[in-house]
Amino acid sequence: MVHLGTSWTVAAAAWASVALIWLIFAWPEPKGRSWHVILAFAPLAIFAIVIWGPEQLASPAALWLFMGGPILAVLALAWVLGTTLRNHGVMDILYPLTVLAAALAAVWAVGADAWTWAAMAPIAFWSIRLAVQTYGQNAHAEREPYASWRKRFGAKWLWWSAFQIHLLQGVTVWIWCAPIAFAFAAPAPRPWWPFILGGVVWLAGFTLQTVADQQLAAFKRDAANRGKLLDTGVWSFVRHPNYLGEALMWWGVYAFALAHPLGWLSVFAPIYVTWFMGYASAAPYKERHMARTRPEAWAAYCSRTPRFLPWTGPKTSV
């Protein structure tokens, strides 16, 4: 691995300053304050591991922090574009590219070989496909909830958007990237079985998300379906197969981390993705939107279709 620098104390102090400013701005907000606090301070825990932790753990932790640099760079670009275009939906377009940028930085840091490029391939494929798809959905007008937040926060939105949208999502994605850091920091020669296992799981998730997106796009193109709900194909198994597919892909990436002796410690990342997609943010937002816009049809759909995990059984929308 290339030398990533020894001024971690200075970097930690810089992030602590950012976190303090972030929390000063976030504290008056009644909604989501605790989550802002957790994400603002999360990187400081990793700085502590790098500075005081054992070498075997400090090395992947240092690479993980290093990967935060390109993520911050893409976030800055997204904020500038969102502010200039009055459309912070560009963050949804660029968010998968933050993962690609972070992974490429990790490859550069450790030195490319056949194993790292093989692991990069699915990450890059997912990132580019999702960015292209989301561009078609978000490029032309600011979507919800960003449009409502712009009205709600008024003049404050100019700077609060940097925290509410960009840094909040950026630190979230950075946490998800922990398995990539462990995978690429694994000592050579890395075993191939984690890549094979991860590739199978990733491919299952990618296939599910791609099929779900294609079925939804075809459904929306048909004018006869206007005002109706898609409840066939993979959408008959769970109410959010696209989000489930994304969670599965991150479990595949987690399997790559098992090439490192301590890679199993990064299991918090796919758990976080699964919770985020199914129960904390992505799926709940869609659930509330559909319950508000198509209450009767949505209630009937919920009564016969599991929410996120197929084996949990149908449950009422939240």
Judge contact between 252 and 201, C-beta under 8 A. Answer: yes
Q: Do 222 and 132 fall within a single domain? A: no
Last-in-domain residue among 185, 203, 228: 185
pLDDT in tens, the chain (318 residues): 544 555 888 999 999 999 999 988 887 776 778 889 999 999 999 999 999 999 899 999 999 999 999 999 999 999 999 999 999 999 999 999 999 999 999 999 999 999 999 999 999 999 999 999 999 888 788 888 899 989 988 888 998 999 999 999 999 999 999 999 999 999 999 999 999 999 999 999 999 999 999 999 999 999 999 888 999 999 999 999 999 999 999 999 999 999 999 999 999 999 999 999 999 989 998 999 899 988 999 999 999 999 999 988 786 544
Domains held by the chain: number = 2
Q: Do 200 and 135 fall within a single domain? A: no
Cα separation, 144 vs 292, in Å, equals 14
Task: Identify the three-state secondary structure at position 141.
Answer: coil
Last-in-domain residue among 185, 200, 229: 185
Q: Do 139 and 166 fall within a single domain? A: yes
Q: Do 76 and 97 fall within a single domain? A: yes
Last-in-domain residue among 185, 209, 241: 185
Q: Do 57 and 31 fall within a single domain? A: yes
Q: Do 134 and 262 fall within a single domain? A: no
Q: Do 200 and 111 fall within a single domain? A: no
pTM: 0.93
Q: How far is the first Cα of the chain from the last one, in angstroms, to the nearest whole number?
A: 46
Q: Do 169 and 251 fall within a single domain? A: no
Instruction: Give the domain range for residue 152.
Output: 1-185
- The pLDDT, as a whole number, for residue 3 is 47
Q: Do 170 and 203 fall within a single domain? A: no
Q: Do 241 and 149 fall within a single domain? A: no
Widest distance between CA atoms in the chain: 62
